[in-house]
Amino acid sequence: MSILDALAFPFFQRALVAGLAIAVMAGLLGVFVVQRRLSFLGDGLAHAAFGGMGIGAFVIVSSGLVGSRLGLFTQPLWFALPFSMVAALVIAWLRRGTRLSSDTAIGVAFAVSVALGVMFFSLIPPDMNLGVSAMDLLFGSILGVRGGDLWLILGVALGSSLVLLLLWGRLGYATFDDELARADGVRTDRLELLLFLLAAVIIAVSASVVGVILMAAYLVIPAAAARLLARTLAQMTVVSVLMGVVSTLAGLALSFYLDVPSGSTIVLTQAALFVPAALFGRR
């Protein structure tokens, strides 16, 4: 069977569209994450999503919502989203309001979220079928994307990409020099909060598909490779999105031919693009 035959399968089509949507929004966001030295933020918020999923799964099971027709509320993701946003606000506050550095603030949120996730998943009876397992969340299952998930991913990708593109100039200015931007009337504190909240939404939605552990790679590797090749922030943004798109297409195709997990193949493809950028890119 060739890759063209595989494209005829709805599950493969959904994986492809979801992967591309995630590549675009993560590529755009990643530029600001990398330039602000917040690469660890991707890990922190993805693990916050895991904690939120654990709480969500437990609430759904204990309230008897499993299998009910209440649609939205049977998805742990709807609990993970607000939980990740709160985690993002806590990290932003710890960064600005205390003497803690970003990595320490993110590390605290990371550890607490994983502890909560593990605790709440352990409280769910093992024979309970939620349609989502802790292992799926950790390592991702892009080929298992359902129709409802896809619409959510597409909606978040469209909304977040639009906001990031509209605010690109001010975000770029504040990323270059927070003080210079503030002196020119840019509300950098509000922009940073918005960036953190967008990161929480993008990461929570994407992590449920590509996996909590691999999410940071989607955010950081294409943007880091783009930084090594680009001369300007605009070039870096375009190259970052292109790297994400190319590695998603190539990674999915490779995983199909090699019969290996698609999430890890996409990340390894990103790494394969990063290595020549690091070796031959601008110094």
Instruction: Decide if 152 contacts 77 (C-beta within 8 A).
Output: yes
Q: Which is nearer to another protein, 158 or 234 (CB)?
A: 234
Give first-to-last CA distance, the chain, whole Å.
44
Question: Binders of another protein: how many residues, by CB under 8 A?
Answer: 27
Q: How far apart are CA 95 and CA 102, in angstroms?
A: 6
Is residue 179 a contact point for another protein (CB under 8 A)?
yes
Among 182, 193, 242, 245, binds another protein (CB under 8 A): 182
What residues contact 103, with CB distance under 8 A and at least 6 apart? 40
Give, as ranges, the residues between 194 and 233 that touch another protein (CB under 8 A).
227, 230-233
Instruction: Decide if 1 contacts 7 (C-beta within 8 A).
Output: no
Q: Which is nearer to another protein, 5 or 184 (CB)?
A: 184
Q: Which is nearer to another protein, 134 or 241 (CB)?
A: 241
CA 166 to chain centre: 20
Is residue 2 a contact point for another protein (CB under 8 A)?
no
Give, as ranges, the residues between 235 and 264 that touch another protein (CB under 8 A).
235-237
Is residue 103 a contact point for another protein (CB under 8 A)?
no
Is residue 278 a contact point for another protein (CB under 8 A)?
no
Instruction: Decide if 136 contacts 178 (C-beta within 8 A).
Output: no
- Provide Rg for the chain, Cα atoms: 19
Is residue 102 a contact point for another protein (CB under 8 A)?
no
Instruction: Decide if 175 contacts 236 (C-beta within 8 A).
Output: no
Q: Which is nearer to another protein, 188 or 247 (CB)?
A: 188
Q: How far apart are CA 175 and CA 31, in angstroms?
A: 10
Q: How far apart are CA 32 and CA 246, in angstroms?
A: 20
Please state the closest distance from residue 188 (CB atom) to another protein, in A. Answer: 10
Selected range binding another protein among 42-50, 107-115, 165-173, 269-277, rule: CB under 8 A: 165-173
Please state the closest distance from residue 170 (CB atom) to another protein, in A. Answer: 5
Residues lying near another protein in the complex (CB under 8 A)? 35, 168-173, 175-177, 179-180, 182-186, 227, 230-237, 282
